[in-house]
Chains A and B, each alone.
Chain A
């Protein structure tokens, strides 16, 4: 039953009752699982990567993700992620940006904030993570220091600055789509001699040893009815921010609250980046703005786009959440808008006869909330796994924090005489009316050194279980405003280094 180097194994061909004994089992073939397998390729250990889906989308497999949502409107649980090799990189937009230093800090105005380590801890892993996502040279805000195809929007002294995203761009793909990890790295994975990659292999249970301090084995099942067992020395759970929690919670035969859930934290603190549309209107008095604010451009060996972001100093001083502002489509001003522009530009002595207006979008960090969570329901999928219910929340405080950031942007535009800003959303109903989400699943197995406050420790090991680790953005204790893939890959590469020490 060898997969590599010839091909992946189809779990449907594995005889029921088989027991596999790898050194390391990786559950989930998304960006975290694949990055981990690639990073451990040279280790003399037997690895088994279990992917629930196949190489392509399959509706029966995808249906295993179905659940229910309550609270604030959220994307259906079977539409917000992808269950086949590559995971959610099969539908991502490629937006990439490292987290800010302040995102790791204990911020006394944000409850439950603070990573167990500073950004410098994962800084060394960013270049390799950048290479894996195929984002070009690691430049980001350094793009502002070099030649760009256009001028930066003059903002004057203040709380916001032009910050840059870079984009994953699958180099061999003529359409320049973002890197879909499954297809992009399939051949690389097949070449790893000590890796077996098994498709259509759904882990349906994490079974603890009697003393509940050791993960004894995994129950694996296929939709065709095959059932077998994996008894790994160590296991990394890398199924994504929703499914990691589901698997831990559902594995409740020996630990009644679920694996790693003695403190009731698994599934809590779920988060995503809120991306309300058309949150504000930005008018550029002179009418001209560099193209990289409005769309993705290629320069200096990378695909990039400018956003407007609050500085670290501004967020600390005003006690704000992180956010990023994007300039979206052109828009027309109404009569009041034309009056505002005419009056203000005249008072400032600026010619605004060619003024142009743009709708602004954004990505918002949420305040961690233990009641924004996934829980098991009584309904089960065809494999017998309990389905999930997500209770989604967003607080008025989170909208208000972003609104303060927008007001500062408006002030800076006036200070530099470059333009002005209208705040398009005020009431909760208005915000909720334009609310969308980033499909970034964060926080359900949060990291904290104290077992009472986190599911995993700083090495991503589940508290109290010596041989179970969690990879992916479910471990993020706070979320920043940066898209998670680059960051979770960097964090996974750090985990790989830790595991090398474990296996030596």
Chain B
């Protein structure tokens, strides 16, 4: 039995290390250059948005025509409607129940619009 390290094992270790370094580099790059948002009281809700910048555009259009909009009240309402990570089924239920409204003239589920409007306020 040879004490020499198996060449294949060494290659795998090397590849693993390389991947780790790439991952670390990627994370560092994201940390340095990626979009960051300061913590908000609504992060539990906002985390369900895939593209927060796009959402903010919709939200701004909505709140421009609804000056009475309150992020706090909306968040309260949304938390009563949406359980954690449960946005999609909640939206489909809303759509079926006719709870659609206009945001920037687009017909959208009400909760999604409110979520966008919260994003626009933070």
Contact = CB atoms under 8 A, between A and B. Distances in A.
Contacts of B61: 336
A477 B95 CA distance: 37
A407 B92 contact: no
Contacts of A407: 100, 102, 107
B82 to A, nearest CB: 11
Interface in A417-471: 420-424, 426
A420 B106 CA distance: 8
A130 B91 CA distance: 45
Interface stretch (B7-15, B32-40, B46-54, B70-78): B46-54
A422 B105 contact: yes
A423 B105 CA distance: 5
Interface residues of A, number: 25
Interface in B48-100: 48-51, 53-55, 57-58, 61, 87-88, 91-92, 95-96, 98, 100
A301 interface: no
A494 interface: no
B116 A343 contact: yes
Nearest to A338: B54
Contact of B107 (A339, A348, A414): A414
Contacts of B49: 343, 346-347
B95 to A, nearest CB: 5
A414 B106 contact: no
Contact of A423 (B48, B51, B58, B102): B102
A11 to B, nearest CB: 56
A410 B109 CA distance: 10
Query: Nearest 10 pairs between A and B by C-beta?
Result: A410-B107, A346-B50, A339-B54, A339-B57, A340-B106, A342-B54, A411-B100, A414-B95, A415-B95, A422-B106
Given A343-B55, A346-B50, A415-B95, 17 more contacts: A335-B57, A336-B58, A339-B57, A342-B54, A343-B54, A343-B58, A343-B108, A343-B112, A344-B112, A346-B49, A347-B49, A347-B109, A348-B92, A407-B102, A414-B95, A421-B107, A424-B105
Interface of A: 335-340, 342-344, 346-349, 406-407, 410-411, 414-415, 420-424, 426
